[in-house]
């Protein structure tokens, strides 16, 4: 599913215009990004939590040349799905996806 598909699904379910639905989806994503930039944890009960993890600096290797390369420390976004989400995905094996409603 792409962002455009998500916007279409929100428009269909809420019976809002595509433009209003796009504002809703953009606002949601901007809120997640803003919280993570500020170092906050964002938790959506029944779905999962978003947080930032710190990766330490390390010595890597260029796979093409084999040369050692310093990889700097960085912060990376991390998503941990909730138990409910895991159970929903794994229930019943390979069933077709259901619409968001």
Full-model pTM: 0.72
Q: What pLDDT is stored for residue 97 in this prediction?
A: 56
Cβ atoms 63, 88 nearer than 8 A: no
Q: What pLDDT is stored for residue 89 in this prediction?
A: 92
Tokens of 68: 């050692």
Top-tier CATH class for 48-89: few secondary structures
Cβ atoms 25, 52 nearer than 8 A: no
Helix or strand or coil: residue 42?
Answer: strand
Domain chopping of the chain, boundaries:
1-40, 48-89
Q: What is the pLDDT of residues 55-99, one digit of tens each?
A: 999 999 999 999 999 999 999 999 999 999 999 999 855 555 555
Q: What pLDDT is stored for residue 91 in this prediction?
A: 86
């Amino acid at each position: 599913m792409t962002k455009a598909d998500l916007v279409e699904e929100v428009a269909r379910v809420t019976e809002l215009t595509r433009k209003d639905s796009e504002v809703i989806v953009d606002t949601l994503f901007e809120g997640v990004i803003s919280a993570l930039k500020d170092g906050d944890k964002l938790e959506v009960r029944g779905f999962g939590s978003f947080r930032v993890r710190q990766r330490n600096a390390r010595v890597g290797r260029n796979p093409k040349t084999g040369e050692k390369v310093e990889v700097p420390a960085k912060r990376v976004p991390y998503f941990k799905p909730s138990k409910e989400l895991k159970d929903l995905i794994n229930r019943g094996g390979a069933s077709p996806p259901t619409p968001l409603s």
